[in-house]
């Protein structure tokens, strides 16, 4: 166990549903990340938070909405997704500087139907 926990592990949702992915780390890291992993793009950065502040939004559609209430928790709110959004969503945490997103969660396998 690397200390980064994601829930749920699997999620099936309809295109009109609203759901949220959760990530939690108790490693004392100040940076947290959302990545999308699919066959099309193996590791695609979505969002970066440093000290609860969003420092990067990698041109992600507004149907994905991140939230970082504190340094230990990160959410990804999902609404009106498309089937092509089906993928593995990985959360990661790390420290500022040289050691970046060193620890990944297990991921949430999302299927949009």
Partner 1 sequence: GENVEQHPSTLSVQEGDSAVIKCTYSDSASNYFPWYKQELGKRPQLIIDIRSNVGEKKDQRIAVTLNKTAKHFSLHITETQPEDSAVYFCAASLPSAGKSTFGDGTTLTVKP
State the residues that interact with partner 1 by CB under 8 A. Answer: 2, 31, 33, 41-43, 45, 48, 50, 55-56, 90, 96-107
Nearer to partner 1, 53 or 84 (CB): 53
Nearer to partner 1, 64 or 104 (CB): 104
Q: How far is the CB of 33 from partner 1 (least distance, A)?
A: 7
d(CA 68, CA 62): 16
Q: How far is the CB of 104 from partner 1 (least distance, A)?
A: 4
Number of other CB atoms surrounding residue 62 within 10 Å: 8
Q: How far is the CB of 111 from partner 1 (least distance, A)?
A: 15
With a CB cutoff of 8 Å and minimum separation 6, the contacts of 22 are 6, 7, 73, 74, 75
Nearer to partner 1, 69 or 98 (CB): 98
Task: Please state whether 71 falls in left (phi above 0), alpha (psi between -120 and 50) or beta.
Answer: alpha
Nearer to partner 1, 78 or 108 (CB): 108
Return the ∠ at Cα 69 (arms to 66 and 79), rounded to 5°.
30
Q: How far is the CB of 102 from partner 1 (least distance, A)?
A: 5
């Amino acid at each position: 166990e690397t200390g980064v926990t994601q829930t749920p592990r699997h999620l099936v949702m309809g295109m009109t549903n609203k759901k949220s992915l959760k990530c939690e780390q108790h490693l004392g890291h100040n940076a947290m990340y959302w990545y999308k992993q699919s066959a099309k793009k193996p590791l695609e950065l979505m969002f970066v938070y440093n000290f609860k502040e969003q420092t990067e939004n990698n041109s992600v559609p507004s149907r994905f909405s991140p939230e970082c209430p504190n340094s230990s928790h990160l959410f990804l709110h999902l609404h009106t997704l498309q089937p092509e959004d089906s993928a593995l969503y990985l959360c990661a945490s790390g420290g500022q500087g040289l050691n970046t997103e060193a620890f990944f969660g297990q991921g949430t396998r999302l299927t949009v139907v």
